């Protein structure tokens, strides 16, 4: 049996793959206690499964972890595609809870075994940093089309946002420094020429499993592994798709810097260009090479100057 949870701000709908009937509890400690009573009444349970819901699922995740209940968080897009494949076109909270449980039964997602509160907090800070940068960019763009009085208002808003950005970045640095394991990872990653705090913190926050997975899995998770499309005699060029866009965006910017300042990456890029490869293909290839170097340094816990990655060129 799998239990599916459809989570909103105030309510949680609970269903299972063995029964279409569902019930709801409050999304608070009182509701969690009722959920635990239901789980304990079951003869067998593989896992409790929920979609990522913009943060509304965090409290119940911590509760399940504390009570040693196996759970998994899955991608809402994949659940919706599964519902379409089942012919379930209607959508409401009750149906969603049942569909999530059925999806889990078919896919059997790997349960979460550890939920690091510091990593969760780091992810939230990184997301907030990205939001503030977006607001600053929007305000700057508005400044080109307004008169002098409005520009003063825009500049005041930009000044406030830039101060807030510094506060968020300070909190990110403080969080990374308070734990020796995280500060060591930062030191290792940032020892690589072209890589700075944005990429190092993003990898720690959004790709914490980098040391436990293979280099191919790493590229796939980030969304820089080209996937081919072939059918019969039709063979199309592989394209990158999906992945964790936060890491991909930060890795792209770091790669542009590394092409200038990191000798192995620069030589690799020029070699590909000499072969006539398009610029974006060369950059994606360099992104793959850079993330493999980063992974190798982390796996061996060595700085760039000493690393296995430098000798081999990649992990």
Of 254, 261, 266, the residue nearest 294 (C-alpha): 254
- Please write down the long-range contacts of 167-174, taking CB distance under 8 Å and 24 or more positions apart: 168/125, 168/128, 168/129, 168/132, 169/129, 169/197, 171/125, 172/122, 172/125, 172/126, 172/129, 172/197, 172/201, 173/197
Query: Is the confidence at residue 114, as pLDDT, over 80?
Result: no
Of 199, 201, 191, 188, the residue nearest 249 (C-alpha): 199
Query: Is the confidence at residue 24, as pLDDT, over 70?
Result: yes
pLDDT in tens, 36-69: 999 999 888 999 999 988 788 888 998 998 888 9
2-107 in CATH: which number?
3.30.420.140
Do the Cβ atoms of 42 and 1 come closer than 8 Å?
Answer: yes
pLDDT in tens, 282-299: 999 999 999 999 999 999
pLDDT in tens, 131-170: 999 999 999 888 777 788 888 889 999 999 999 999 999 9
Q: Among the listed ranges 113-127, 200-214, 287-301, which one has the minimum average pLDDT value?
A: 113-127
């Amino acid at each position: 049996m799998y239990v599916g949870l459809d989570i909103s701000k105030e309510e949680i709908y609970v269903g299972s793959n063995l029964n279409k009937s569902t019930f709801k509890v409050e999304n608070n400690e009182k509701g969690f206690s009722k959920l635990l009573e239901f789980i304990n009444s079951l003869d067998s349970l593989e896992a409790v499964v929920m979609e990522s819901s913009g943060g509304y699922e965090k409290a119940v995740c911590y509760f399940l972890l504390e009570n040693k209940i196996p759970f998994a968080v899955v991608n809402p897009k994949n659940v919706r595609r599964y519902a379409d494949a089942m012919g379930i076109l209607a959508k409401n909270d009750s149906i969603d809870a049942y569909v999530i449980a059925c999806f889990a039964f078919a896919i059997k997602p790997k349960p979460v075994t550890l939920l690091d509160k510091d990593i969760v907090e780091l992810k939230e800070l990184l997301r907030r940093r990205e939001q503030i940068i977006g607001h600053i960019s929007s305000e700057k763009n508005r400044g080109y089309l307004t008169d002098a009085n409005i520009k003063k208002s825009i500049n005041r808003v930009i000044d406030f946002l830039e101060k807030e950005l510094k506060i968020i970045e300070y909190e990110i640095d403080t969080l990374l420094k308070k734990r020796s394991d995280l500060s060591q990872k930062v030191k290792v990653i940032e020892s690589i020429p072209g890589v700075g705090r944005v990429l190092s913190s993003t990898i720690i926050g959004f790709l914490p499993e980098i040391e436990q997975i293979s280099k191919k899995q790493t590229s796939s998770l980030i969304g820089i592994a080209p996937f081919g499309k072939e059918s019969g005699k039709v063979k199309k060029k592989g394209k990158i798709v999906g992945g964790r866009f936060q890491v991909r965006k930060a890795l792209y910017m770091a790669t542009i810097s590394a092409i200038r300042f990191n000798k192995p990456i620069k030589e690799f890029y020029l070699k590909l260009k000499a072969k006539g490869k398009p610029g974006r293909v060369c950059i994606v290839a360099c992104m793959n090479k850079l993330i493999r170097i980063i992974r190798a340094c982390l796996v061996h816990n060595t700085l760039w100057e000493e690393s296995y990655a430098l000798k081999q060129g990649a992990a």
